[in-house]
Structure 1
Amino acid sequence: MGGVSTPHVLLGLLAGGSRHGYELKRAHDERLPRARPLAFGQVYATLGRLERDGLVAAAGQDRVGGPDRTAYALTDQGRVTLDQWLSTVEAPMPYVASTLFAKVVVALLVADADRARSYLIAQRAAHTARLRELTTVKGDPAATLSDVVAADFAIAHLDADLRWLHATLGRVADWHREVHP
C-alpha cells in the first residue's frame, strides 16, 4: 500500500473522540505537516465511505453560527480496522514510482544528455534548498516531536534522492563523453 491512507488517518484522529469534518481536516493538516493538505471534499467523501462501511457513525449535530455540522465517532468495527492497519508492516517499496525518476529516464530516452543534465542540476538545487528548510524546522525550539520526526523522514528521502541525482549526473556525463568523444 503506497502513500498515506486517508481513511486510516481519519480513523486514528477519531480514536481520541468524536469530531466533525472541519476539525478532522484541521487536525490532519496539523498532525501531518509534511503531507499534502486534505481538501474538505476529500474529508467528507472519506467520512461517507467510512460511515457506509460501518467504521464511523454520526455522533450528533451542532450548529455553531453556521450550517449543521455532523460529528463522527469511531465504531467498534472502526477501532478493529484501525488496530489491524497499525499492526500491519508496510512492504518496502521495490518499485520506483517517482516523477523525478521518470523525467530523467524520459530525457535520456530522447537521447538528450544536455536536457537530462540541466534537469538533474536544477532538481539537485531544489532538493538542497528543501533540505535546508527541513533542517531549520528541526532546529526550531517550537518544533513538536511530530515536526521533527516528519522532518527526519523527509530529510532521509531527500538525501537518498540527492545521492541518486549525483550518481546519475556522473553517469550522464560519462555517457555523453562516450557518445561524443
Structure 2
Amino acid sequence: MSIRHGLLALLEPGARYGSRLRTEFQERTGGTWPLNIGQVYTTLGRLERDGLVVQEGVDEAGRVLYALTEAGRTELRAWFTRPVQRSSPPRDELAIKLVMAVGAPGVDIREVVGAQRRHVAEALHGYVRQRAEALARAHEHPQEMARLLVLEQLVFHAEAESRWLDVCEVRLLRLSRDGGAAGAPE
C-alpha cells in the first residue's frame, strides 16, 4: 500500500494537516487500512525531505498545514499512470504457513486449511454484506464509491483465496494417496 502516494492524492485539492489526512485516508478506503497518526507524520516528513510537499503555515487551531509542491503534483500524476508492479509479490503469511506445515511433525495440514477456509468464508460473507450496503448508498453518497471499490477487491481476494485453498486440499489429498507425507500426525 502506498501511503506516500495516498497522502499526495489527498493533498491535491489543497493544504491539509496530518490528522485530517489520516481521517480522509481511512474514510476513502472504507476503514480497511487504518493509519497510525505517527505513520502519517513520518511519511509527511519524508515527502517534505524529498521536496514533494511543503509546510504551508498553520490553521486557526495551530496545526501545521502541508501542501503539494509542483514536484509532488508531477509525482502524483506519474503514480496514477504507472501500473502497479506484480513482479515481486508481497510475502503472504498463509502461503508461508502452509509451506511450513507440509511435513511438519504434529501438524495436520488439512486442519490448517480447514481453519483458514472457515475464516475466509466468514470474511467473504462480511465483505459481501458491506458491499451490498455500500452499493445501496453509492448513489446518494459519492464517497461510498471509493469504499465500494475497496470492498470489491476484498471480495475478489477472498474468493481467490478460497479457490486456492481448494487446490491445496486436492493436492494434499493426492499426495497422501500417493504415499507422501501430507502433514498429518502419525
Any residues of structure 2 matched to 1:26-175 within 5 Å, and which?
A: 26-33=23-30, 35-64=32-61, 68-93=62-87, 95=89, 97-110=91-104, 115-140=108-133, 141-143=136-138, 144-175=144-175
Q: Which moved more, 1:163-172 or 1:91-100?
A: 91-100
Kindly tell me the number of residue pairs found equivalent between the two proteins.
Answer: 173
TM-score when normalising by structure 1 = 0.88
Aligned letter for 1:142?
A: R
Q: Does 1:20 align with 2:14?
A: no
Aligned letter for 1:115?
A: D
Does the CA contact (< 8 Å) of 1:14 and 1:73 recur in 2?
Answer: yes
SS of the equivalent of 2:51 reads coil
- How far apart, in 2, do the equivalents of 1:123 and 1:93 lie? 26
Gapped runs of 5+ residues in structure 2? 139-143, 181-186
- How far apart, in 1, do the equivalents of 2:6 and 2:170 lie? 41
* Identity score, percent: 33
SS of the equivalent of 1:19 reads coil
Q: 1:89 to 1:163 in 2, by over 3 A?
A: same
Question: Residues 3-42 of structure 1, C-alpha deviation per residue, up to 9 Å, x if partnerless?
Answer: x111110000000111100100000111012542110111
Displaced runs of 4+ in structure 1, greater than 4 A?
93-96
TM-score when normalising by structure 2 = 0.86
SS of the equivalent of 2:35 reads coil
CA RMSD, Structure 1 to Structure 2 (Å): 1.8
SS of the equivalent of 2:162 reads helix
SS of the equivalent of 1:59 reads strand
- How far apart, in 2, do the equivalents of 1:96 and 1:5 lie? 13
Gapped runs of 5+ residues in structure 1? none
